[in-house]
Amino acid sequence: MTTRGAVLGMAEQTKTREQTKPDTKTRVAPPWNVVVWDDPVTLMSYVTTVFQQVFGYSASRAERLMLEVHERGKSVVWTGAREQAEIYVGKLQSFSLKTTLEPGHD
């Protein structure tokens, strides 16, 4: 192989390596919503107390979220990482609140 041929061959190998380089971009996991749904049985004061216990919310914030559940039929009461959202769903369900986990929006 001539010197020129060797240089061209090396350039082709370098080009191939660059094309097969793995994508190393870091992505942030999308958020998840903890949604509490209205039901005709649970007392509003109970829901407010549960929100304060589970999330540590102030009385005014817990009451605002409870009213949203009552008036709109549901409320997103927490948004964040999926693992923590799953924990919150389990806790709220253990208090007999109708709760689901939904993907949030980026």
CATH class of 32-103: alpha beta
Gap between the Cα atoms of 83 and 102, Å rounded: 12
pLDDT, tens digit only, all 106 positions of the chain: 555 655 555 555 555 555 666 667 787 889 999 999 999 999 999 999 999 999 999 999 999 999 999 999 999 999 999 999 999 999 999 999 999 999 998 6
Look-up: residue for tokens 């693992």?
83
How much is the pTM? Answer: 0.74
